[in-house]
């Protein structure tokens, strides 16, 4: 619901939903996550539930090339992270 339905048209800013956020990830020698810095705390990865890769928008100058990991952290939290294979950076993605 709009907070004030009488607000003039065009005064709202659009924002993207579900934007990834940068995250610090420590990996093993194979590149799989071993721990992450989650909310300022180092959390061990208990196990990896799933791994998948997305290669998309190859026709654009900066396509999408990501390797996703669905993780179970030491306290039981499930977290999805991906490595941007173009930049080499790590990101958290909410699902």
Domain membership flag for residue 58? yes
pLDDT tens column, 49-92: 999 999 887 777 777 899 999 999 998 999 999 999 999 999 99
Question: What was the pLDDT predicted at 9?
Answer: 61
Given the DSSP bridges, would you call strands 24-27 and 21-22 parallel, antiparallel or unpaired?
unpaired
> How many domains are there within the chain?
1
Token output for 82: 């991906």
Domain membership flag for residue 10? no
Domain span including residue 62: 21-92
d(CA 14, CA 86): 27
d(CA 54, CA 82): 10
């Amino acid at each position: 619901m709009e907070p004030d339905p009488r607000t003039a048209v065009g005064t709202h800013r659009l924002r993207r939903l579900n934007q990834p956020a940068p995250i610090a990830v420590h990996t093993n020698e194979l590149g799989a996550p071993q721990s992450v810095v989650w909310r300022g705390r180092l959390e061990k990865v208990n196990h990896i539930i799933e791994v998948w890769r997305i290669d998309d928008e190859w026709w654009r100058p900066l396509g999408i090339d990501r390797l996703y990991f669905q993780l179970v952290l030491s306290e039981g939290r499930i977290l999805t992270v991906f490595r941007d294979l173009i930049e080499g950076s790590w990101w958290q993605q909410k699902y």
